[in-house]
């Protein structure tokens, strides 16, 4: 389940948070396939509650399932199927965010908040009623018999049972140990596999027993052989927040695929913010920091996600950090540890704020992105589209070009780091003050290369800095403050 199921020359996952299916289909065709992106993590496609507050519909309604019908704010079942087809046709995979831990928050009912349920299914999340005819589930399918209250803050440190069987922020907790519940979940996952998806991001995995998840995943079909070949299994990444001191541990989950390594983004963010030194990151890999960093094939690497980009005083850098964020994401894409995921956001000021939309009169339907001539998203559309930022999209191509090549010829100087990806590429970043001038061993063939961090190679001409590699593989670099330089075999002029 740890195999990414991407094409070999596409090595980066992008989370198109809250995008519509029709927009993602267009994005696969017009952009992602050309910039080394191998897969898209999409928001939960199943039916969810609707909530109106502050003349807006929050993003987190997507994490309150009503049924497993493929009808959501992102679009219909037909639109979802069309997206999967069109993305697969251009070699871009779809990874589905699956919310299996729970249903709606206790007390939520269809029709409340004056807007009705989002789809045709009615439901009643009143305590002890807990009725979801669209599945169907009833209260007997929850963990109420084992725990009938919320997870307590202290449970996270010392009660794994409660973390897994009590309610997460009041969300009605399903019993994944029941064969009936497992069957409904397997049917849901199989319906997605039949449509051609490549895998799943398991929401709130640490709130479910690893062996229950294993029973569910093991019972799913192989991926479609016409797309993925014979006997291929879904890619799985489980959302497990474990930065130490928890009762539930990341390594309980690696039997089921990868886990979201939250230690990684925190470590790179500290260096990007100047709170630690890049030379400390030269061992970022299995065993790094003493806890929480598993084997390369177990890890999903990311800087920020849709949750921690909203935290007050977040430990990670986000799109709001500008150059420092670009350096963190660039480092992730240049470095060899885990399967990297790029976050792609809409801009927000309030942490509940939903995606750009067409207003109350249109049921807050999502308004898609629009694009500038340089292929970035128009900020007036409300979408940030980090994945389209020139530096980040260039680094997604860098990662693809350097796929399989080891790191070598490391040079580091506290706020600076440079290294080769043997015979494929060379990367240097400078988060210190002043320019960084040095001569480095690139391991590349002699020639002139286009620095794709400061520009791009278009039709043989480079809009960025040109770097000359001598016959000894060495080159002189001058990395501006808060910037990086990246050259690779496909950026040779």
- Choice among 18, 97, 239, 252 that is catalytic: 239
* Closest separation in Å from C-beta 401 to ligand LM2: 32
Of 18, 47, 144, 203, catalytic: 203
Token pair for residue 272? 């990007």
Pick from 17, 21, 37, 63 the residue near ligand LM2 by CB under 6 A.
Answer: 63
d(CA 67, CA 118) in angstroms, rounded, equals 11
Stretch that binds ligand LM2, among 156-164, 169-177, 261-269, 314-322 (CB under 6 A): 169-177
| Alpha-carbon span 208 to 44, nearest angstrom | 18
Residue 493, Cβ density class (10 Å: 0-12 exposed, 13-18 middle, ≥19 buried): middle
Residue 99 near ligand LM2 by CB under 6 A: yes
Among 144, 155, 173, 242, interactor with Ca ion by CB under 5 A: 173
Please count the other Cβ atoms lying within 10 Å of the Cβ belonging to residue 113.
13
Contact mark string toward ligand LM2, 186..215, x via CB under 6 A: -----------------xx-----------
Which span (20-28, 59-67, 324-332, 481-489) binds ligand LM2, by CB under 6 A? 59-67
173's contact among Ca ion, ligand LM2, none, with CB below 5 to 8 A by partner kind, is: Ca ion
DSSP for 242-261, written as a single string: -SSS-SS-GGGSGGGSEEE-
Assign 82 to helix, strand or coil: helix
Within 10 angstroms of residue 363's Cβ, the number of other Cβ atoms is 15
What's the CA gap between 121 and 440, in Å, rounded? Answer: 62
Residue 182 token pair: 């497992």
List the single partner that 99 binds among Ca ion, ligand LM2, none, CB under 5 to 8 Å by kind: ligand LM2
252 annotated active-site: no
What letters, b where the CB count within 10 A reaches 16 and e where it falls short, cover 211-231? ebbebbbeebeebbeebbeee
Q: Residue 399's closest CA among 37, 32, 33, 11?
A: 11
Q: With CB under 6 A as the rule, give the number of residues binding ligand LM2.
A: 13
Site stretch for Ca ion (CB under 5 A), options 45-53, 59-67, 93-101, 388-396: 93-101
Find tokens 């670099």 and name the residue: 477
Per CB under 6 A, does 56 bind ligand LM2? no
Q: Which is nearer to ligand LM2, 168 or 411 (CB)?
A: 168
Cis peptide before 242 (omega within 30 of 0): no
Q: Does 212 bind Ca ion (CB under 5 A)?
A: no
Question: Based on CB atoms, which residue is closest to ligand LM2, 171 or 181?
Answer: 171
Residue 165: active-site member: no
Whole-angstrom distance, CA of residue 156 vs CA of residue 246: 6
CB count in 10 Å sphere of residue 289: 15
Residue from 18, 239, 386, 451 that binds ligand LM2 (CB under 6 A)? 239
Q: Which of the ranges 11-19, 56-64, 400-408, 430-438 carries the binding residues for ligand LM2, by CB under 6 A?
A: 56-64
Contact criterion met (CB below 8 Å) for 201 and 239: yes
Nearer to ligand LM2, 171 or 457 (CB): 171
Stretch that binds Ca ion, among 28-36, 83-91, 167-175, 377-385 (CB under 5 A): 167-175
Binder of Ca ion out of 184, 207, 306, 324 (CB under 5 A): 207
Q: Which is nearer to ligand LM2, 60 or 436 (CB)?
A: 60
The residue within the footprint of ligand LM2, chosen from 38, 45, 75, 170 (CB under 6 A), is 170
Catalytic residue annotation: 203, 239
Q: Which residues bind Ca ion (CB under 5 A)?
A: 101, 164, 173, 207
């Amino acid at each position: 389940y740890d195999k990414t199921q991407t094409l070999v020359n596409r090595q980066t996952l992008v989370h198109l948070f809250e995008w519509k299916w029709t927009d993602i289909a267009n994005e696969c065709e017009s952009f992602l396939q050309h910039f080394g992106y191998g897969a898209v993590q999409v928001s939960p496609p199943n039916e969810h509650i609707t909530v109106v507050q502050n003349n807006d519909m929050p993003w987190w309604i997507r994490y309150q399932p009503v049924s497993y019908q493929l009808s959501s704010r992102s679009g219909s079942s037909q639109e979802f199927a069309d997206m999967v087809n069109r993305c697969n046709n251009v070699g871009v995979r779809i990874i589905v965010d699956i919310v299996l831990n729970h249903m709606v928050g206790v007390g939520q009912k269809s029709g409340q908040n004056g807007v009705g349920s989002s789809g045709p299914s009615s439901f009643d999340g009143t305590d002890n009623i807990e009725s979801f005819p669209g599945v169907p589930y009833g209260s007997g399918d929850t963990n109420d018999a084992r725990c009938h209250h919320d997870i307590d803050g202290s449970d996270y440190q010392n009660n794994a049972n409660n973390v897994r069987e009590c309610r997460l922020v009041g969300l009605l907790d399903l019993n994944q140990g029941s064969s009936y519940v497992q069957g409904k979940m397997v049917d849901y996952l199989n319906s997605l596999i039949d449509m051609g998806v490549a895998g799943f991001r398991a929401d709130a995995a640490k709130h479910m027993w690893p062996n229950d998840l294993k029973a569910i995943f093991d019972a799913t079909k192989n991926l479609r052989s016409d797309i993925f070949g014979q006997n291929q299994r879904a890619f799985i990444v489980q959302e497990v927040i474990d930065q130490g001191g928890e009762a539930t541990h990341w390594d309980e989950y690696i039997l089921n695929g990868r886990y979201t390594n939250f230690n990684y983004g925190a470590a790179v963010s500290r260096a990007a913010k100047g709170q630690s030194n890049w030379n400390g990151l030269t061992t970022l890999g299995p065993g790094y920091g003493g806890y929480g960093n598993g084997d390369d094939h177990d890890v999903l690497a990311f800087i920020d996600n849709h949750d921690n980009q909203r935290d007050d005083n977040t430990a990670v850098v986000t799109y709001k950090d500008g150059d420092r964020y670009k350096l963190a994401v660039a480092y992730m894409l240049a470095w060899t540890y885990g399967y990297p995921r790029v976050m792609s956001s809409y801009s927000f000021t309030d942490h509940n704020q939903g995606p750009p939309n067409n207003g109350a009169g249109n049921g807050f339907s999502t308004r898609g992105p629009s694009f500038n001539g340089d292929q970035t998203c128009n900020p007036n559309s409300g979408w940030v589209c980090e994945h389209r930022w020139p530096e980040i999209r260039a680094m997604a191509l860098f990662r693809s070009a350097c796929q399989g090549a080891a790191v070598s010829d490391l040079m580091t100087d506290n706020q600076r780091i440079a290294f080769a990806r043997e015979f494929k590429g060379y990367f240097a970043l400078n988060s210190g003050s002043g320019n960084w001038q040095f001569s480095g061993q690139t391991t590349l063939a002699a020639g002139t290369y286009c620095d794709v961090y400061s520009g791009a190679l278009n039709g043989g001409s480079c809009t960025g800095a040109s770097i000359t590699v001598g016959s000894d593989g060495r080159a002189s670099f001058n990395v501006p403050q808060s910037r990086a330089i990246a050259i690779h075999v496909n950026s040779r002029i």
